[in-house]
Amino acid sequence: MKQRISGFFEERIDLTVLRKWVKEKSVPQHKHSFWYYFGGLALFLITVQIITGILLALYYSPTPANANSSVRYIMENVKYGWLIRSIHFWGANFLVAVVFIHMFSTYFMKAYRKPREMMWVLGVLILLLVLGFTFTGYLLPWTTLSYFATKVGVNTPSVMPFFGKFITDLLQGGRGVGASTLTRMFTMHVVVLPLLAIVLISLHVLLSQVFGSSVPLSQRGRTGATRFFPDFLMRDAAVWAGGFAILLAMVTVFPASLGQKVNPILPAPLGIKPEWYFLFVFETLRRFPETIAIGAITLGIIIWLLVPFIDRRASREQKSPFFTLFGAAVLIYIISMTLIAYATT
């Protein structure tokens, strides 16, 4: 049977290149190889999000009248609905955390250096997409918290010169957050962002196959290699299983809750704050004048995106301690602003 199936393909396509790749692909083994698992884990988690998202979309209704009750229906009446929704909720949190770890680990290993510059650029765009998924998904249950937090979120760009108001109008789709905002967030969450994510992630993963894993300068000459098929893939699968087990543990101990349907006429409750991964942005906006804060964040993202082209020493295979310090400063800033926001709100 196996031979008949492979014979079927063999007669139609030349599989020699694929065979050679499968036979020869290997992953470098050294002191920091542990970090190589996070890209694969992100890929696994995004797949979980797509599958659970499709299942949720079968019952979800994107209108102010029905959004909240359709989510309640999923939680209370659909078989395993609470489980699917909770996996989607916790999976999003895990995905953001894993993508941040993957980003900073590749940063500190200087994996963005030549020839992987475009992998880095694609990576930063993917991170923005992942955050875009969380932002657009947040409004969908149409609860008091999700409504008023989104209101703050969509209004934030409006203080920016030139494009600011345009971005707010584009997200909001009318005066204030309302039915058209919900339609737009839903469309972005289930159509626009997934299409972009599939294209960008496919390119990112394709490039990772073309270039293979990079080896940090400090580990040059000290590496062994593990065959990808089946050895590394089996370890990858074990990491996915472990990640999924932790995800399921969180889901069963802390299933996703659902707040009350919003009444937009009532004033916003006190103490509205975003999810943990936006807290550093929130705190930056609280501490500095809005235009300066938004300008600095935008500039920061642009510099971060262009790091492989600015850090020429790394691309010439030389150590670049300044960029290690710069990355450490960014990381410390994000962590400390997040902690301050937690402690003071």
Q: Which residues bind ligand HEM (CB under 6 A)?
A: 36, 38-40, 42-43, 46, 99, 102-103, 106, 109, 111-112, 116, 119-120, 123-124, 126-127, 130, 201, 204-205, 208, 213-214
State the minimum distance, in angstroms, from the CB of residue 280 to ligand HEM: 16
Nearest approach, Cβ of residue 203 and ligand HEM (Å): 11
Instruction: State how far the Cα of 159 lies from the Cα of 168, in Å rounded to an integer.
Output: 9
- Give the C-alpha separation, 333 to 314, whole Å: 23
Backbone angles phi, psi at 92, to 5 degrees: -65, -45
* Residue (182 or 247) nearer to ligand HEM, CB: 247
Give the pairing of strands 26-29 and 224-227: antiparallel
- Written as one letter, the residue type at 17 is V
Cβ distance to ligand HEM smaller for residue 40 or 81: 40
Q: 49 and 197 in contact (C-beta within 8 Å)?
A: no
Give me the least distance between CB of 336 and ligand HEM, in Å please.
21
Chain centroid offset of residue 5 CA: 37
Terminal C-alpha separation, the chain: 63
Residue 75 CB, shortest distance to ligand HEM, in Å, is 27
- Of the two residues 89 and 147, which places its CB atom closer to ligand HEM in the complex? 89
Contact 36, 50 (CB under 8 A): no
**Interhelix angle 279-287/290-310, nearest 10 degrees:** 130
Minimum distance from residue 187 beta carbon to ligand HEM (Å): 21
Q: Which residue lies nearer to ligand HEM by CB, 55 or 130?
A: 130
Residue closer to ligand HEM by CB (options 292, 332) is 332
Minimum Å gap between C-beta 94 and ligand HEM is: 11
Nearest distance from residue 55's CB to ligand HEM, in Å?
A: 20
C-beta closer to ligand HEM: residue 118 or 152: 118
Q: Would you list the DSSP string of 40-73?
A: HHHHHHHHHHHHHHHHHHTT---STTTHHHHHHH
Peptide bond into 141 cis (omega under 30): no
Q: Which is nearer to ligand HEM, 273 or 313 (CB)?
A: 313
